[in-house]
Amino acid sequence: MRLVSLLDEEKEEEKSIEKAKVKRLNEAAMKGSVASLLELIQEDPDILNKANLSLSDTPLHVAALLGHSAFAKQLMTQKPELATDSNSQGSSPLHVAAAKGYVEIVKELLLVNPDMCLVKDRDGRTPLHLAAIKGRVEVLTELVRVRPEATRVLTGGGESALHLSVKNNHFGALKVLVESLGKDDQFVNWRDSEGSSVLHLAVAKKQLEMIKYLLTNSKMEVNVRNANGFTALDLLLHSQRDLRDMEIKECLQKAGASRMTKVQSIANNQEIEEVLPPIQAQPLIPKETDSKPVVEKHKHTDWLGRKRSALMVVASLLATVAFQASLSPPGGVWSDDYSVDSDGNPAENPHKAGLSVMAYHDPRKYEAFMILNTIAFLASLSIILLLISGLPMKRRRFMWIQMVTMWLAISAFTSTYFVALMQITPRQVRTTLFHVSRISLMIWLVMMGLVFVGNIIRMTLWLLRKYGYIKEKEKEFSLYVEEEENDE
């Protein structure tokens, strides 16, 4: 039994020694210390094999990540197989070096195994794809030089390296790839899983420089459609307006771009494709009878949208300030407990830590402050809750209710301000402050009254119009005028 225990102890000791060596190797890789690497290999020639079993990332992965080219070269000299090892993400050292843009390490890795250019990671991307995503122009140039066919490898989503460079706005990477493809017009016009070519992507992102380059230096099919049936020009016309739109449109039209629409045949229920030339958007002049309702509806929608956005911002600010005021009332809070004096006798005015100082010295003002602050806080939260509830709040009456609630919150918050101001102001200057505050409060009340009366008038007129009372009076008045004119 004692012999077995001794053997187990020896095994554990060997494991701990091996772990220490692997840790030293990892540290040497992080520092890029070739001397430490050679020292470890001299101590244990099998250390590189042990490291592969113990670590997710091999020392070569670490060197490629940190750009230690000399260390990486020495590793591949000692064990060339490291260049083909993958980590837990399925990435080879070439994936890592290409994404980071370390050209020297990329060159060394390609000398060992050029076929690693075609290997995909777990996300379905090759080292060339990662270099295109990151815009590593020098790395792309080297990868294309060694394995030109790598440019034609697609990702798991059916995207080419051209798509990735356009999506990530790397013009230099796009140029390298287009030049490497040469006369392969079919691949330049390759469409991804959504049916989008690189021209579709460039137009969608308004990348003017890329669009000009693609139209000038490659044979782009400008009228090819994506999965939604849109050409590049269709995408431009349906996108948000931008200062570059006119110039992009001119480039596309010079290249022969057209709008592609689908017309449904009523007679035989067949879908017919019709090519329409690009047209200038003309202002639509509606009929006289239809113009007013459309304009009023548009204005109504814009008005409600602006009010909802403004109410959300103001309510959020008021709720934040009211919450902070409840935690930090005027005068602050006691920082310690005080129940006995220095002689050990019960204190006349005891207090506890964390409670409001104002509540002890002036309970009435504290009550007024907290009541008003609570009203402002709950009114603001009510506005936020109504706006995010998903209820149909698109009618004017609901918007007026929310605005009245907001007036209540603002009025309560204003009163809270004056209570707090009087509390923190010394008695000798309160007289002047009182007069200034009274004048300011009167002006505020007059403004609130005017706004309130104005909205009451608006609501009254709206109700009268809704139930047709005003229209009837207008008709009666017009009939009365006509009768008077006829009598004359």
What is the residue-wise DSSP string for 123-171? TS--HHHHHHHHT-HHHHHHHHHH-GGGGG---TTS--HHHHHHHTT-H
pLDDT band at 165 (very low <50, low <70, confident <90, very high): very high
Whether residue 283 is predicted with pLDDT greater than 70 in this model: the reply is: no
- Tell me which DSSP letter residue 223 carries: T
pLDDT value at position 469? 63
Q: What is the mean pLDDT of residues 413-425?
A: 79
pLDDT band at 94 (very low <50, low <70, confident <90, very high): very high
Q: What is the mean pLDDT of residues 169-179?
A: 92
Higher pLDDT, residue 376 or 488? 376
**Percentage above 90 pLDDT, the chain:** 26
Lowest mean per-residue pLDDT among 69-78, 294-303, 393-402: 294-303
Higher pLDDT, residue 151 or 289? 151
pLDDT band at 265 (very low <50, low <70, confident <90, very high): very low
- Take residue 398 and report the two structure tokens written for it: 């609901």
SS3 276: strand
Q: What is the mean pLDDT of residues 126-138?
A: 95
pLDDT value at position 356? 84
Residue 101 to residue 92: CA distance in whole angstroms: 14
- Take residue 179 and report the two structure tokens written for it: 């030049």
pLDDT value at position 129? 95
pLDDT value at position 121? 92
pLDDT band at 288 (very low <50, low <70, confident <90, very high): very low
> What does the mean pLDDT of the chain come to?
78
Whether residue 117 is predicted with pLDDT greater than 70 in this model: the reply is: yes
Q: Is 399 exposed, middle or buried (0-12, 13-18, 19+ CB in 10 A)?
A: middle
pLDDT value at position 93? 95
Q: What is the mean pLDDT of residues 40-51?
A: 83
Higher pLDDT, residue 281 or 376? 376
Tell me the C-alpha to C-alpha distance, in Å, between residue 335 and each of 10, 253, 344, 356. Answer: 61, 74, 20, 10
Whether residue 218 is predicted with pLDDT greater than 70 in this model: the reply is: yes
Whether the Cβ atoms of residue 135 and residue 165 lie closer than 8 Å to each other: yes
Among candidates 238, 176, 229, 228, which has minimal Cα distance to 203? Answer: 238
Within a 13 Å sphere around the CA of 264, how many CA atoms are in the beta-carbon half?
Answer: 2
Phi and psi angles of residue 204, each rounded to the nearest 5 degrees, phi first? -60, -35
Lowest mean per-residue pLDDT among 46-50, 77-81, 132-136, 430-434: 430-434
Asked whether the CA dihedral 156, 161, 163, 164 is positive or negative, the reply is positive
pLDDT band at 177 (very low <50, low <70, confident <90, very high): very high
Q: Which residues pair with 273 in a beta bridge?
A: 262
Q: What is the mean pLDDT of residues 167-187?
A: 87
Residue 25 makes CB contacts below 8 A (sequence gap 6+) with: 37, 40, 47, 48, 51, 59
SS3 192: coil
Phi and psi angles of residue 351, each rounded to the nearest 5 degrees, phi first? -155, 165
Q: Which residues pair with 271 in a beta bridge?
A: 264
- Take residue 260 and report the two structure tokens written for it: 């592609």
Whether residue 138 is predicted with pLDDT greater than 90 in this model: the reply is: yes
- Tell me which DSSP letter residue 338 carries: E
pLDDT band at 391 (very low <50, low <70, confident <90, very high): low
Whether the Cβ atoms of residue 422 and residue 441 lie closer than 8 Å to each other: no
Instruction: Identify which of 146-150, 155-159, 343-347 has the greatest average pLDDT.
Output: 146-150
Whether the Cβ atoms of residue 126 and residue 91 lie closer than 8 Å to each other: no
pLDDT value at position 53? 58
SS3 243: coil
- For 242-307, list the strands marked E by DSSP: 259-264, 271-276
- Take residue 252 and report the two structure tokens written for it: 């596309």
Mutual orientation of helices 396-424 and 288-327 as an angle, nearest 10°?
Answer: 30
Q: Where are the alpha helices (DSSP H) in 218-356?
A: 232-238, 245-254, 288-327
Phi and psi angles of residue 321, each rounded to the nearest 5 degrees, phi first? -65, -40
Lowest mean per-residue pLDDT among 37-46, 175-184, 261-270, 336-345: 261-270
